Amino acid sequence: MRGRLFFAGVYGSAIALWCASCAFMPGSGPESFDIRAGQVNDPNHLPYALVKITPQVVDILAQNAPRLTAAFADRRMASEIRFGIGDVVGVTIFEAAAGGLFIPAEAGVRPGNFIALPNQQVDSSGNISVPYAGSIHAKGRTPVEVQQAIVDAIKNRAIEPQVVVSLIDQRTSLISVLGEVNTPARFPASMTGEHILDAITRAGGPKGQGFDTWVMLEREGRRATVPFGALVYEPANNVYVHANDTIYVYREPQTFIIFGAGAGASATSSAALTGGSPIGLSAAGGQAQINFDAWRLSLAEALAKGGGMSDLQADPSSVFLYRGETRQLASKLGVDIARFVDGPIIPLIYEINFRDPAAYFLASRVQMRNKDVIYIANSLAVESAKVFEYLTLMVNTVNAPITAATNAYVLKAAINGTFPTGAAVAAAP
């Protein structure tokens, strides 16, 4: 009867330990069923959404990858250079015959009846001054438009006038390239048009190898940032630059963090399954921050760089990718964004099941982003082994004083020359 009660107590203790194991057992992160359960009903917990990685999800993520064309959809070449305040302008006026407004009568009829006015800056009012025409507005106009304005002003006094207006010194239609380039500079925009890579080349090119280099384009208050590699390998991102654009090149190594049951972790499960020391259970070595060392990295490649999944510890069906997404993208993924009331970024946890052979194809298409977090959950077998190992430890701890007392009684009897029977030993205090 006592034996039955003892085993019943042990069994009950095991069940209690199993039920409470997630609360006090050592581990490198949450249990997979806790993640799938979603946010607990506690205002102090951060809400998140769980999204399973499917072919449709992969396609949506690919369509919404960071691109310059998302912010600057107009990929056409910049329009003509227009004059601005401070630009130096040259004006040359031609007349068809001598004796007109600018060509004296004694000059005779000859080719090249013209007069070149002194170069002048566009003043603070945006005007230039032309004799007999007065102030001609130049700011915001192209050379052809200024030419026509001058002709209209003097055509009733000059003999069939023609005008050539040229930009002598371009001081307003400039492009700035700053940051991690060899020769940061501010230079005039090309009238023939140039792409963002052309502008970076004019500034000497990036200092680094490029895979950890980022490029930010700012135009009229809008900004967009992409990896430098995206400009090289995805030509759609290599947009035309416009006058007064600012290009900022900087270096920031892309990294991701991996937690949980990676193959780089210590042999936790082997210690648990073989009844080893519980010290091995908490000696997790699979947590790491890892550099991309490439301009982009897939989820499959990231897992490989982290050592893969532990064959003795990981649950392949419970691999999670933590990332913040914009509200617009989260909505496209089918997330109910109405319950996320704060901020433009929604915490998402992507789930992928590597017990499905097709998941490896999906993982090779999911692109990692800077500061992503990968978590590999333990298998339930490992968690069970932890519980029973601790149960064994507790039973051994309780039995140790009893065993010591029994051994002392047997030793004392042996010294006295008497050898107790099994019943006597069991009845010993």
User: Are 221 and 245 within one domain?
Assistant: yes
Average pLDDT rounded to a whole number, residues 37-42: 66
Q: Is the pLDDT of residue 197 over 70?
A: yes
What residue type is assigned to position 6 of the chain? F
Q: For residue 79, name the pLDDT band (cuts at 50, 70, 90).
A: confident
User: Are 374 and 273 within one domain?
Assistant: yes
Least confident of 206-210, 231-235, 339-343: 339-343
- Residue 85 to residue 122: CA distance in whole angstroms: 5
Q: What is the CB neighbour count within 10 angstroms for residue 103?
A: 23
399 vs 73, higher pLDDT: 73
Residues 6+ apart with CB under 8 A from 82: 139, 140, 141, 142, 173, 243
- Residue 419 to residue 414: CA distance in whole angstroms: 6
- What residues make up the domain containing 367? 27-64+254-384
Q: Which helix (H) or strand (E) holds 152?
A: helix 143-154
In a domain, 8, yes or no: no
Q: Is the pLDDT of residue 265 over 70?
A: no
Q: Is the pLDDT of residue 399 over 80?
A: no
pLDDT > 70 fraction of the chain, expressed in percent and rounded: 74
Average pLDDT rounded to a whole number, residues 369-395: 72
Cβ(233)–Cβ(295) under 8 Å? yes
- Round the average pLDDT of the chain to a whole number and report it: 81
User: Are 214 and 74 within one domain?
Assistant: yes
Q: Is the pLDDT of residue 138 over 80?
A: yes
User: Are 293 and 185 within one domain?
Assistant: no
- pLDDT of the residue at 190: 86
Average pLDDT rounded to a whole number, residues 49-71: 91
Q: Is the pLDDT of residue 337 over 80?
A: yes
User: Are 40 and 164 within one domain?
Assistant: no
In a domain, 287, yes or no: yes
Average pLDDT rounded to a whole number, residues 19-48: 69
pTM recorded for the entire structure: 0.70
What are 294's strand-pairing partners? none
User: Are 188 and 288 within one domain?
Assistant: no
The CATH number of residue 210's host domain is 3.10.560.10
In a domain, 423, yes or no: no
Least confident of 152-161, 199-208, 251-260, 335-344: 335-344
User: Are 222 and 94 within one domain?
Assistant: no
User: Are 278 and 374 within one domain?
Assistant: yes
- pLDDT of the residue at 268: 38
In a domain, 393, yes or no: no
286 vs 139, higher pLDDT: 139
- pLDDT of the residue at 255: 94
User: Are 331 and 227 within one domain?
Assistant: no
Average pLDDT rounded to a whole number, residues 247-274: 72
The tally of domains found in the chain comes to: 3
User: Are 327 and 376 within one domain?
Assistant: yes
Domain end, chosen from 231, 251, 271, is at: 251
Q: Is the pLDDT of residue 141 over 80?
A: yes
163-196: per-residue pLDDT in tens?
999 999 998 989 999 999 999 999 999 888 899 9
Residues 6+ apart with CB under 8 A from 154: 93, 101, 130, 132, 133, 161
- pLDDT of the residue at 271: 39
In a domain, 7, yes or no: no
User: Are 161 and 186 within one domain?
Assistant: no
Q: For residue 418, name the pLDDT band (cuts at 50, 70, 90).
A: low
The CATH number of residue 150's host domain is 3.30.1950
Average pLDDT rounded to a whole number, residues 286-293: 86
- pLDDT of the residue at 252: 92
71 vs 425, higher pLDDT: 71
User: Are 289 and 377 within one domain?
Assistant: yes
